[in-house]
Amino acid sequence: MGREKLLLIGNGMAGVRTIEEILERDAAKYEITIIGEERYTNYNRIMLSNVLQKKMTVDEIITNPMQWYNDNGIKLVHHDPAVKLDTDRKQVTTASGACIEYDKCIIATGSRSFILPVEGAQLEGVLGFRTIDDTVQMIEQAKHYKRAAVIGGGLLGLEAAKGLLDQGMDVTVVHLEKWLMETQLNEPAGNLLKQDLEKQGIKFLMEKRTTRLRGTTRVEAVEFSDGSVLEADLVIMSVGIRPVTGLAKEAGLKVERGIVVDDFMAASARDVYAVGECAQHNNTIYGLVAPLYEQGKVLADVLTDRPTEGYKGSTVSTSLKVSGCDLFSAGIIHERDAIKGIEAFNGLTNSYKKLFIQNNQIVGIVLYGDTSEENRYYKMLRDKLDISALNPVTLLASAAGEASSSVADWDDADTVCGCNGVTKGTIVNAIHTQQLTSVAEVTRCTKAGNSCGKCKSTIGELLTHVLGDKVTKAPTGICGCTDLSRDEIVLQIHEQGLKTSKEVFQALNFRNAEGCSKCRPAINFYLNVTFPQEHQDEKESRFVNERMHGNIQKDGRFSVIPRMRGGQTTPQQLLKIAQVAEKYNVPLVKVTGSQRIGLYGVKKEDLPQIWEELDMTSASAYAKAVRSVKTCVGASFCRFGTQDSMGLGIKLEERYEYIDTPHKFKMGVSACPRSCVESGVKDFGVIGVENGFQIYIGGNGGTEVKEAQLLTTVATEQEVIDLCGAMLQYYRKTGNYAERTAPWIERLGFEHVKSVLLDPEQSKALLAELDEAVAGKRNDPWTEVRNNENREQELYTVGRV
């Protein structure tokens, strides 16, 4: 007897998590097919705001790449939504006409942004904020338009507003209610949030009802019920979501606000189930991740014949960081009848807390600013503790006094990851039984930390408590000053708007308040990439080689290696080099391995004058940056050459010289497959062939030689140049400082990197980001050396940053 056919309609977070739970319980039970409406594989919708706010790329929020579907034998019907469900014949028809049979069917169609039914809602420039495509479109629109109105002051609306603000737009949030996030916060906390967001530059119009959008073809203004008008050329609707239930309703299932399910997530038709935002359980539809994952666990038990008490509903708690502002809420958060509240406000830290109490039990919690007590208070609410022995002052003060306790002191039932409902006990048990030694392994095994990521530092603390010094640290290229990973540091730089290394060291609690010789260059690089126009490059944080534009030698003297683009020079350049070498008694003049002429043994005090007299730019032979491009003589001179390798090499250098990268970035252009410049061991290697150019990436020489991998073959030089730029920017954005391209590609996966670089839209976007990042950054090196000469006298010691 063959395996049963399991069909999932919907490729989102709740449905795919259910499939993951089923695979963990019995991977061989079902032949699984997933129908997905979007053109992307499963991704983390929570992280869309990070993409909009330039903290992450689209690829970084993909939870399950295509390889996951293949590895688990899952057939993905991609970008082809289900349009008809026949519960009698047990089959589903897709938009393309494909007919898919099932034995068991899960509906997880989620929800859509609700677009207000007002005049003008169909105009160009009116968008929702729910999908990757929505997000990409918002980013593109922000490049051409400057005035944005975000209708809705809930979580998504505020995240959209912050993202558009970061994209350079003038942003106004329009909200119908008296305060922000009224379903998660009470009025005082909502007002504190508004004040903090106003400081960041977001404007607000409160208690405004939108009645009309003005415009001819594109939106031009928002009109309100009181007659006032707000000019806007981009309008984001974030006034709520609506469950996607049309397919179920047409199939005859019982549908109210959502698809009605019982405690075992079963819908009203035989062998049909529903989970996620489209499901209505006990008259409730949940929009947060944790309850949806709880539903998925129950359904996985049901479908793998495991005993279960069923789904009994969820006590919803929300732990969020909204545009850098921390908040937590749970339970009933408004006073009514017998529910009374006690509250405390700290004006110095702008933090607020309020507890809602009924029958001597906490039934609701609101924390803003300082959320360190969320677990303590939530435990009181969850366990229905009797607090009658505590007077209000003691209740508020005692928890605050104990808030600094370590995760080691938490109960096993305390929640570490609110998004996924993972407790301390679950994580500790997994660490012991499965011998986990890193945060990444804990996340992979327990799902803790793979949604919003806020709890990863707590997971790290728990690992240290359990394992001590046996914890495996993720490679970061940083040092012992911090336990934070590269991604966590960059995320906090974005979240907190940190613009200098000093701010990073202070805000992120580095053990050494001034950093060290390892982390100072790394932080300076991350700041340069994150805020290319705003961050002032910190010369004192660079290695002495980069500050002096010369590689320091064993005796404390320097090398001077001028740039000869493509290895090509002129008689005039050679004369200047000879004259300088003679004048300053340079001990060694040598042709380098990168086809340049180097002057070795130069005194530090002679560097500025030598650069001035050479009147040539530096070849960056010492820097973590784009190095010189090595070339052969090419088709113009070589009888085997098929392409103009020198010409292309010069174009590549002219286009990308002086661009900082996580580590040195070497290129080679060979005119034929004989590859005289060893293109196969370069970070970016080019080999000319009859029909164009073969592109190889990720090759590294050195102590551990790594052969480059064939990326693609292109027809024109411009395609080569553009692919190189896309790779450079993706490497800059995702690489750990001091990580070469070979381990970078190994870490991300060659197929993943390939899919990004060969995607025309992503490649174009990366190239545009690179152009923006390096605009106005190129300076002649000897000018910098001369201007900084006096300061260098104080900073310089051999080997010191």
For 632-646, what is each residue's pLDDT tens digit?
888 878 878 888 888
If phi over 0 gives left and psi between -120 and 50 gives alpha, with beta otherwise, what is residue 516?
Answer: beta
The helix/strand/coil state of 209 is coil
Q: Name the segment(s) of the chain with CATH classification 3.30.413.10.
A: 627-779
Topology (CATH level 3) of domain 126-239:
FAD/NAD(P)-binding domain (3.50.50)
Please give the Cα distance from 104 to 271 (Å, whole number).
Answer: 5
**Residue-averaged pLDDT of the chain:** 85
Buried b (16+ CB within 10 A) or exposed e, 26-52: eeebbbbbbbbbeebbbbbbbbbbbbb
Please give the Cα distance from 122 to 213 (Å, whole number).
Answer: 9
pLDDT tens-digit readout, 381-436: 888 888 888 777 767 764 444 444 567 777 787 788 876 778 888 899 889 888 88
290 closest CA partner among 354, 382, 363, 377: 382
| 105 marked ligand binding residue | no
256, pLDDT greater than 80: yes
pLDDT tens-digit readout, 185-219: 889 989 999 998 998 899 999 999 999 999 999 99
| Structure tokens belonging to residue 68 | 């996951």
List the beta bridge partners of residue 100: 92
Taking the CA atoms of residue 282, residue 286, residue 290 and residue 293 in that order, the dihedral angle to the nearest 10 degrees is 70
Residue matched to tokens 């005039």: 572
Whether residue 35 contacts residue 92, with contact meaning beta carbons closer than 8 Å, is answered with yes
Please give the distance of CA 440 from its chain centroid, rounded to a whole number.
Answer: 15
**Is 324-405 a CATH 3.40.630.40 domain?**
no
323, pLDDT greater than 70: no
Whether residue 472 contacts residue 483, with contact meaning beta carbons closer than 8 Å, is answered with no
| 632 marked ligand binding residue | yes
Task: Give the highest mean pLDDT range of 241-245, 475-479, 782-786.
Answer: 241-245
pLDDT tens-digit readout, 134-184: 999 999 999 899 999 999 998 889 989 988 998 889 999 999 999 998 888
Q: Name the segment(s) of the chain with CATH classification 3.50.50.60.
A: 4-110+243-303, 126-239
The helix/strand/coil state of 529 is helix
Share of the chain above pLDDT 70, in %: 90
Cβ atoms within 10 Å of 507's Cβ, excluding its own:
14
| 452 marked ligand binding residue | no
The helix/strand/coil state of 61 is helix
Whether residue 295 contacts residue 276, with contact meaning beta carbons closer than 8 Å, is answered with yes
671, pLDDT greater than 60: yes
If phi over 0 gives left and psi between -120 and 50 gives alpha, with beta otherwise, what is residue 726?
Answer: alpha
Is the four-CA dihedral 66, 67, 71, 72 of positive or negative sign?
negative
Q: Name the segment(s) of the chain with CATH classification 3.90.480.10.
A: 542-617+783-801
The DSSP 8-state label assigned to residue 680 in this structure reads G
* Phi/psi of residue 547, nearest 5 degrees: -65, -35
The helix/strand/coil state of 665 is strand
Strands 91-94 and 82-86: antiparallel
Whether residue 80 contacts residue 98, with contact meaning beta carbons closer than 8 Å, is answered with yes
Classify domain 4-110+243-303 by CATH number. 3.50.50.60
Please give the Cα distance from 14 to 108 (Å, whole number).
Answer: 7
Q: Name the segment(s) of the chain with CATH classification 1.10.10.1100.
A: 417-529
Give the E-state strand segments of 110-178 in sequence order: 111-113, 126-128, 147-151, 170-175
Q: Name the segment(s) of the chain with CATH classification 3.30.390.30.
A: 324-405
The helix/strand/coil state of 461 is helix
Topology (CATH level 3) of domain 627-779:
Sulfite Reductase Hemoprotein; domain 1 (3.30.413)
For the entire predicted model, the pTM comes to: 0.62
438 closest CA partner among 388, 474, 403: 474
pLDDT tens-digit readout, 457-504: 788 888 888 887 677 655 444 676 787 878 888 888 888 889 898 889
Report the pLDDT value the prediction gives residue 435, as an integer from 0 to 100: 87
Please give the Cα distance from 558 to 608 (Å, whole number).
Answer: 12
| 99 marked ligand binding residue | no
Classify domain 542-617+783-801 by CATH number. 3.90.480.10
The DSSP 8-state label assigned to residue 115 in this structure reads P
Give the E-state strand segments of 528-571 in sequence order: 558-560
| Structure tokens belonging to residue 514 | 């001034």
Topology (CATH level 3) of domain 417-529:
Arc Repressor Mutant, subunit A (1.10.10)
